[in-house]
Structure formats: C-alpha cells, structure tokens
C-alpha cells in the first residue's frame, strides 16, 4: 500500500527560500558536499550549511558519511524526490490542497505582504508553487518576468515606507528574476520552441522597468548604486530581445509590434 504523503507548514516554509530549491535541484544530479554546493551556487559555505540543516530538518536531504572519508555528502530523500518528480496525480492533488490550506490566509485577509512582514514568506511561496506548476520553459520564463515586475512594485512601496534596506534586497531580487527569465528562454530556444511572443513581452516589460527604476533612483538617491545594475540589466535585455526579434522575423521591431 502506498504510504500517505503529508505536507506540513514547516515543509512548505522550507521551500520558500530560493537557495533551498536551488540546493534540491543541484542534488538531483548527484550527492554533493556543502563545499561543492557552495561553489556550484556561488554562495558562502556557511550559508549553504545553514540551508542544508533546514532541509534536513524537513526531511528533504540526508547526510551520507562514507567510511574512511572525512567528507560529508548530502543527497535527496524520497520526500524530496516525490516533490521534484511526483509519480501520481494523487500526490499533486495532496500537495495542492496542502499548499492552498497553508497560504489561503493571504487571500482571505486580502493583505499585501512586503519584505519585513511575516506573511511575505508565504507570498513568495505562492510564486515558487506557480513555478512548480509551469509546464515548460516558456511558462517559467513568463512567470519570472511577472515576478521581476512585482519586485519593482515592492521596492516602490518599501521606499515610500522608508525601508531602504528591504528595497535594496528586492531590487537585487529583480535582477535575479530577469536573469532566470533569460535562462528559461535560452532553454526553450534550445528545444526549438517559438520564443517570439515571449521576446516581445520582454522588450515591452523592460521598457516599463527602465522607467520605474529611473523613478526609484530619483525618489531614493541613496539607492543609486543599487538601482544602476538593475537599470543596466533592463536596458541590455530590452536591446537584446529587440535585436533577436528582428533577426528571427527579418523585420524592424516597429513593424513586429504593429502586426
């Protein structure tokens, strides 16, 4: 008889951290040490170790100590494998119901959560869940583009509230979301998918992002050095998307968008 799978609030909270989901995806390839994960993800080994401990407490990873070797490896547990690769619609159904139960308060109370609010972690968990349900790279890229714009909206509110440090963090998260969107587009391109509609979305969105970022720079001059890298990313991705659209279609961008 199949063992019933139960999803707790603790487990869902564990999955809200981007670094933890990155660790799980890395361990899909093979067991790794904390040092290997540190190099692969470009994060300090202390940070990786802390996240591994959280994953271990949620029964998503387990330690593997090999006799005669001083290195400690980490590998995915059955629970983690079931989450990453559900074997039945029953599992997906249980996961969805459990998730909705945990995060329903966000919708019932109709509260906008921002960094520093205790509900913000659940807000981001909703985004991670949406990514899990995305069927292909194009859908994931679209989601990352939406999340990037959400980060800019959050930064605007945070600046108005005087929470400059939090605003700085979400601006950095904007850059990450835009880079993830580009990675998913590249994967879709390798699979010979039609990326034209998404490139059009990128060109239009980044044009809007540039305006928002310039406005943020005016409102919070102390964030200028943090806004500039995000502004550069937005500009580069807008130009790159337009160039690729023109290469694919053989038409000037102005004619592409007016078709």
Looking at residue 112, its pLDDT comes to 66
Looking at residue 132, its pLDDT comes to 75
Q: Is 6 helix (H, G, I), strand (E, B) or coil?
A: coil
Looking at residue 106, its pLDDT comes to 47
Quick check: 167 and 213 in contact, CB under 8 A? Answer: no
Looking at residue 143, its pLDDT comes to 93
Average pLDDT over residues 194-202: 91
For the chain, give the mean pLDDT: 81
Please state the domain extents for the chain.
9-82, 134-257
Cα separation values, 60 from 3, 42, 250, Å = 16, 21, 49
Average pLDDT over residues 213-229: 94
Quick check: 217 and 225 in contact, CB under 8 A? Answer: no
Q: Which two tokens stand for residue 195?
A: 């990326």
Quick check: 19 and 45 in contact, CB under 8 A? Answer: no
Average pLDDT over residues 129-156: 89
Looking at residue 2, its pLDDT comes to 38
Confidence of residue 167 (pLDDT cuts 50, 70, 90): very high
| Tens of pLDDT, residues 79-126 | 888 777 655 444 554 555 455 555 554 444 445 678 887 677 767 777
**Residue bearing the bigger pLDDT, 19 or 157:** 157
Looking at residue 71, its pLDDT comes to 83
Looking at residue 120, its pLDDT comes to 79
Write down the CATH number for the domain with range 9-82. 1.10.10.10
The CA distance from 142 to 188, in Å, is: 12
**Residue bearing the bigger pLDDT, 259 or 129:** 129
Average pLDDT over residues 54-77: 85
| Tens of pLDDT, residues 67-91 | 667 788 999 998 888 777 655 444 5
């Amino acid at each position: 008889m199949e063992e019933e799978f139960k999803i707790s609030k603790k487990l869902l909270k564990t999955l809200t951290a981007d670094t933890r989901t990155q660790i799980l995806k890395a361990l899909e390839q093979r067991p790794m040490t904390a040092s290997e994960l540190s190099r692969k993800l470009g994060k300090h080994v202390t940070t990786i170790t802390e996240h591994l401990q959280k994953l271990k407490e949620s029964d998503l990873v387990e330690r593997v100590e090999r006799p005669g070797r001083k290195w400690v490896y980490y590998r995915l547990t059955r629970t983690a494998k079931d989450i990453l690769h559900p074997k039945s619609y029953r599992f997906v159904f249980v996961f969805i119901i459990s998730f909705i139960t945990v995060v329903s308060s966000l919708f019932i109370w109709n509260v906008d959560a921002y960094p520093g609010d205790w509900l913000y972690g659940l807000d981001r968990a909703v985004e991670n869940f949406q990514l899990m349900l995305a069927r292909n790279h194009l859908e994931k890229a679209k989601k990352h583009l939406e999340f990037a714009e959400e980060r800019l909206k959050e930064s605007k509110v945070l600046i108005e509230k005087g929470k400059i440090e939090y605003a700085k963090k979400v601006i950095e998260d904007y850059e990450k979301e835009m880079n993830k969107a580009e990675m998913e587009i590249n994967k879709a391109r390798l699979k010979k998918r039609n990326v034209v509609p998404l490139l059009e979305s990128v060109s239009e969105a980044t044009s809007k992002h540039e305006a928002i970022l310039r406005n943020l720079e005016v409102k919070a001059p102390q964030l200028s050095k943090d806004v500039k890298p995000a502004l550069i990313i937005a500009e580069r991705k807008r130009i790159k998307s337009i160039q690729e659209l023109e290469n694919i279609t053989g038409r000037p961008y102005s004619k592409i968008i007016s078709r």
